[in-house]
Chains A and B, each alone.
Chain A
Amino acid sequence: DGGITQSPKYLFRKEGQNVTLSCEQNLNHDAMYWYRQDPGQGLRLIYYSQIVNDFQKGDIAEGYSVSREKKESFPLTVTSAQKNPTAFYLCASSLSSGGMYEQYFGPGTRLTVT
């Protein structure tokens, strides 16, 4: 089955620790995205990548970092510099970054930092 996997589904960390969220896709998509969602809110773009070895900041990139060394993988690191890291994190991909291509989303990772 083709799709996007995110792991783990739930993640708990202590304040001050960095944590890396996994995102893998086997759809052969060039573009990948990371979004953050807070309770009752819409999605906000953290980082996106149009192609391997390239990525750009979204609207709320501060305190986050990404890498895109392989086409199928786009991990997100939540660093200790992120002031409010507790949120629902969603990864998505699309065939290309053009507007005519729909995005496919993973099931999300719920991160809780205490």
Chain B
Amino acid sequence: DAKTTQPNSMESNEEEPVHLPCNHSTISGTDYIHWYRQLPSQGPEYVIHGLTSNVNNRMASLAIAEDRKSSTLILHRATLRDAAVYYCILRDWTSGTYKYIFGTGTRLKVLA
């Protein structure tokens, strides 16, 4: 199974950029890298995803290493509302269909 490794927790000051790393050394050539975030007692929220090239959207940027064995989610200016658990996920092709494998994620704390 494709797996991801993330730090358990990180801290950032408000209004500063945050770089959340993820290692996925067993990624296969067609696996997309997805990021979701989850607030306490809520369902996860989609943040961004990509395949090979760096991606930007209104929430964040995703930087993917050239060998695709790691990626970094970039929040350009952290706000208190960005405090959440961030999950880096790979699609896993099993038995002819796709599943999403969630790890334990990175708990981001934003300091005012």
Contact = CB atoms under 8 A, between A and B. Distances in A.
Q: How large is the interface on A (under 10, 10 to 19, 20 to 34, 35 or more residues)?
A: 20 to 34
A111 B40 CA distance: 16
A83 to B, nearest CB: 22
Contact of A108 (B32, B42, B87, B99): B42
A99 interface: yes
B34 interface: yes
A56 B95 CA distance: 10
Contacts of B31: 99
Interface string B51-72: 1000000000000000000000
A105 B102 contact: no
Interface string B94-112: 0101111111110000000
Given A90-B44, A92-B43, A107-B42, A98 B98 contact: yes
Interface of B: 30-32, 34, 36, 41-46, 49, 51, 87, 91, 95, 97-105
Interface of A: 4, 33, 35, 40-45, 48, 50, 56, 58, 88, 90, 92, 97-100, 102-108, 110
8 closest Cβ pairs, A-B complex: A105-B43, A99-B91, A99-B32, A43-B102, A42-B102, A102-B46, A42-B104, A97-B98
23 contacts: A4-B43, A42-B87, A42-B103, A43-B102, A45-B99, A45-B101, A45-B102, A48-B97, A50-B97, A90-B43, A92-B43, A97-B97, A98-B98, A99-B34, A99-B91, A102-B34, A103-B44, A103-B100, A104-B46, A105-B45, A107-B42, A108-B42, A110-B41
